[in-house]
Amino acid sequence: MKLEIQALEDNNTWEIVDLPPVKNAIGSKWVYKIKYKANGEVERFKVRLVAKGDLEEEVYMKMPEGFQQKGQYKKPEGMVIVLIYVDDLLITGDSERMISEEKEVLHRQFKIKDLGELKYFLGIEVLRPKQGVLLNQRKYILELISEIGLAGAKPVLTLLESNIKLALVEYDKVGGISGDMVVQDATLYQRLVGKLMYATITRPDISYDVQTLSQFMQMPKRSHLEVTYRVVRYLKGLVGQGVWLRPQTNTDLVCWCDLDWATCPNTRRSVTGYVVQFGGSLISWKSKKQYTVSRSSTEAEYRSMASAVADLT
């Protein structure tokens, strides 16, 4: 930022002046575009406003954050991030002073209530020991277990049984398979799978199973419903498990990906899975079916890596 501002000054891109009474200054967040002449001088300075085209006239802009006067630039103290969900706000950042100022600004405008240090947000419990931060959904999962009547059920240690292949109703008809009845109330299955999808926020270990179950939302069978109950029983055995974020100086971004070749019996498409670590902490994960059929496991591997890199980028 310092070098960028210095370059703009050297090319006389702008001049620091007092704002005339009849003029309004735009924020420095707008994207600027500079066009140079053949001799290197600035021909014009354009400010592009979102969805309003280009302005090729005299423009007054507020000085960027940290810019004090010509030739001087002070690094901003920190940054503040605000996460908004309906009427809930999560404010975080690396400067306590800036966080306090942000709260004061919001309170003056909207009369917000400060609940203090983050402990619980949208079903996610935040534990803050000295070694880092632990995110889990213990309360959410316990409520889910109680809601579907599995409070007295015995937990299981594994998810999907080995070599189990869940299929569509049409697949059973073609193969002459009978006995696996369609669930009469599909909304029960849909709500349960939706709740399990939300549980994947802190439980990456069930991502593959939930991705598999989400393929049968329109016409679920009895076998599909039994597997969802098994996933809930698995969560019951590890109800306090979550995502551990460790404070480290390591800032390496590492992605691990793998796949199951032609694992879907209905489409013969492969399933890609990947996890992303930042400095040793797990920050992102996904399991999804590939868009096309791969003729070999090698082709599927390349598709898996390409998909993971694209999402990572």
pLDDT in tens, 143-192: 999 998 998 889 988 887 766 777 777 776 776 777 778 888 889 899 99
Whether 66 is covered by a domain: the verdict is no
Residues of the chain with pLDDT > 70, as a percent, come to: 77
Higher-confidence position of 83 and 235: 235
Of the candidates 220, 242, 264, which is a domain's last residue?
Answer: 242
My answer on whether 214 and 228 are in the same domain is: yes
State residue 240's pLDDT score. 85
Confidence of residue 113 (pLDDT cuts 50, 70, 90): confident
DSSP string, 17-59: -PPPTT--PBPTTSEEEEEE-TTS-EEEEEEE-TTS-EE-S--
Longest Cα pair distance anywhere in the chain, in angstroms?
82
Residue 228 CA: distances (Å) to CA of 137, 192, 199, 211, 268: 18, 7, 13, 11, 23
> Measured between alpha carbons, how far is 301 from 126 in angstroms, rounded to an integer?
36
Within this chain, do residues 196 and 216 fall inside the same structural domain, yes or no? yes
Q: Is residue 122 part of a domain?
A: no
| 8 Å CB contact between 289 and 264 | yes
Do 140 and 192 fall within a single domain? yes
What is the rounded CA–CA span in Å between residue 65 and residue 73?
Answer: 9
Q: Check residue 159 and give its pLDDT.
A: 84
For residue 64, is it within any domain? no
User: What mean pLDDT do residues 261-282 have?
Assistant: 83
- Report the SS3 class of residue 192: helix
Is the pLDDT higher at 32 or at 193? 193
Q: Which of 134, 130, 211, 204 is nearest to 166 (CA)?
A: 211
> Which residues form the domain of 167?
136-242
Dihedral, 165, 169, 175, 178 alpha carbons, nearest 10: 100
Pick the last residue of a domain from 225, 242, 259: 242
Tell me whether residue 127 is in a domain.
Answer: no
159 and 193, same domain (yes or no)? yes
Same domain, 221 and 252: no
* pLDDT at residue 47, rounded to an integer: 44
Number of domains the chain is built from: 4
3-state secondary structure of 212: helix
Examine residue 198 and state whether it is found in any structural domain, yes or no. yes
Q: How high is the pLDDT of residue 40? A: 47
Q: Taking residues 279-284, what's their average pLDDT?
A: 86
Which range, 44-53, 94-103, 130-139, 170-179, is most confident? 130-139
User: What pTM did the predictor assign?
Assistant: 0.66
In a domain, 128, yes or no: no
Statement to judge: residues 190 and 257 lie in one domain: no
Cβ burial, residue 95 (10 Å; 0-12/13-18/19+): middle
- Dihedral of CA atoms 8, 9, 10, 13 in degrees, nearest 10, equals 60
